[in-house]
Structure 1
Amino acid sequence: MAYSAPAPHVWDPSFADAPDCLLSSDQCVINGQHYFVKGLLEIPVIGTGEVFSWGVWVSLSRDNFARAADMWDTAGREAEKPYFGWLTTELALYAPSTLNLKTHLHTRPVGRRPFVELEPTDHPLAVEQRIGITRDRVREIAEAVLHPAGDESG
């Protein structure tokens, strides 16, 4: 019921050794100029009480990233106002591209990934987040993620 991107779309493995770059399981900095936090874009599964989650990356301003980092291990951080950001994970199942969709990153209690809320547009991913998806759609997503088109190994 969850799939996750290991890094923002703009991350390149060559950045790993650069002194002004960082990639952890929760945060990413590129060239000391671009800042990202990983969160969960949650979609209700209709009629089940369950939630399907995409683990995605959101770019934040330097100030918002610094604030989020300062609050990372602080009890009560969920009281923070949401941080504006841009989705920086390409989810190939959706067209048009999911890159650069407007988001609000909601901090949750320590130990829980932030919640990613998409701007309520007519983009298919935003619509799914608003109205939910069926179990059949969850199976469709799982098939597409586990056996991408053009993958002859399966």
Structure 2
Amino acid sequence: MSQENFARAAYRWDTLGREAEEPYFGLLSTDLSFWIPSTINLKTHVHTRPVGQRPLVELEPTDHPLAVEQRTGITLVQVREIAESLLHSSVDNA
């Protein structure tokens, strides 16, 4: 999110009814190495939700594999592969 949008979201963090805010535009700043090409700078819409719930990050509908999987879902096999990949990489870096 832009600095301005981040400040607004932070200001309204404990405000009841904050979920009525329009989604904030943002860019994904995390490289999720399981997906190729890179996930850096994928366009997002950040939806605020009721107080006590974390925002929902929705990727713009593109042909990037992560965006496709967010829209269409993934299999339990894919979830297992991702989890194993992340677990093994954290063990390797220890």
Q: TM-score, normalised by structure 1?
A: 0.58
- Greater strand content: 1
| Match of residue 54, structure 2, among 113, 122, 129 | 113
Matched, 1:75 2:16: yes
Describe how 1:99-110 pairs up with structure 2 within 5 A: 99-110=40-51
- Greater helix content: 2
Deviations 1:4-42 (A, max 9, x none): xxxxxxxxxxxxxxxxxxxxxxxxxxxxxxxxxxxxxxx
| Match of residue 124, structure 1, among 42, 45, 65 | 65
AA in 1 matched with 2:67:
A
Structure 2 residue ranges without an equivalent (≥5): none
Structure 1 residue ranges without an equivalent (≥5): 1-59
Change in 2 beyond 3 A, CA 1:146/1:74: same
Describe how 1:32-71 pairs up with structure 2 within 5 A: 60-71=1-12
Give me the whole-angstrom Cα distance separating, in 1, the residues matched to 2:90 and 2:57: 27
| Match of residue 34, structure 2, among 89, 93, 99 | 93
Q: CA deviation at 1:150?
A: 9.1
AA in 2 matched with 1:131:
T
AA in 1 matched with 2:27:
W
Q: CA deviation at 1:151?
A: 2.4
Matched, 1:147 2:88: yes
Matched residue count: 94
CA RMSD of aligned residues (A): 1.8
Q: TM-score, normalised by structure 2?
A: 0.93
